[in-house]
Amino acid sequence: MNTIRHSSDHPYAASCGNRDPFAHRFGVSLPRDLARAGGGMTWTDFVEAYAPTAGPVRLSSWTEMRRTAGLPEFEATLGIDDRISSTRIEAAGPIAALTAILYDAGYGVEILSFHQRAVAVGLATFVLCERAGRCQWAFAIHSDHTESALRAIIAGANMLGNSTIRRSEQV
């Protein structure tokens, strides 16, 4: 049996003053640490802060090739600034593949925290990324769970790869 919870019933709602922009929009609370950082924002401000769609890193295509034995192979076409390149890699899964590809491209991030929430429009993925001692939350929503995760990681890589991030925007 499924239970529908209102955001005000969620145990974390009180900790963010019940001003969780994600809960207000979708009825599902943010991960606790992100709720502390993003609580009180408008939805527009929250999206601008944690889900940038522009940046030097762009994922143009993604293909997963399953095999009968061994690790799956992934192929990604990545744009960085004005360069476009395709890469094939064997990895345990899409997140491991993308983080390895980003590392090789000079935009390496470590995923410190990973959360997914089902919402009416698909799946929201929240990632806490770290690079060179700096941490940044990012998120994305997509109907496909893999695409949602990949977009969130790209958003994190773009934010951490940009030297203009202010300390107040970090965790």
Rounded to an integer, what distance in angstroms lies between the CA atom of residue 170 and that of residue 154? 16
pLDDT in tens, 110-142: 999 999 999 999 999 999 999 999 999 999 999
> Which of 103-138 are b and which e, b meaning 16 or more Cβ less than 10 Å from the residue's Cβ?
eebebbbebebebbbeeeeebbbbbbbbbeebbbbb
Q: What is the pLDDT of residue 72?
A: 93
Residue type, 102: L
Q: Where are the domains of the chain?
A: 10-50, 57-169
Low-confidence ranges of the chain (pLDDT < 70): 1-18, 162-171
Candidates 126, 124, 82, 76; CA nearest to 102 is: 76
pLDDT at 54: 87
Q: What are phi and psi of 48, to 5 degrees?
A: -65, -35
What does CATH list as the number for 57-169? 3.30.160.270
Q: Residue 121 has which token pair?
A: 């429009």
Q: Is 86 helix (H, G, I), strand (E, B) or coil?
A: strand
Nearest to 160 by CA among 117, 99, 115: 99
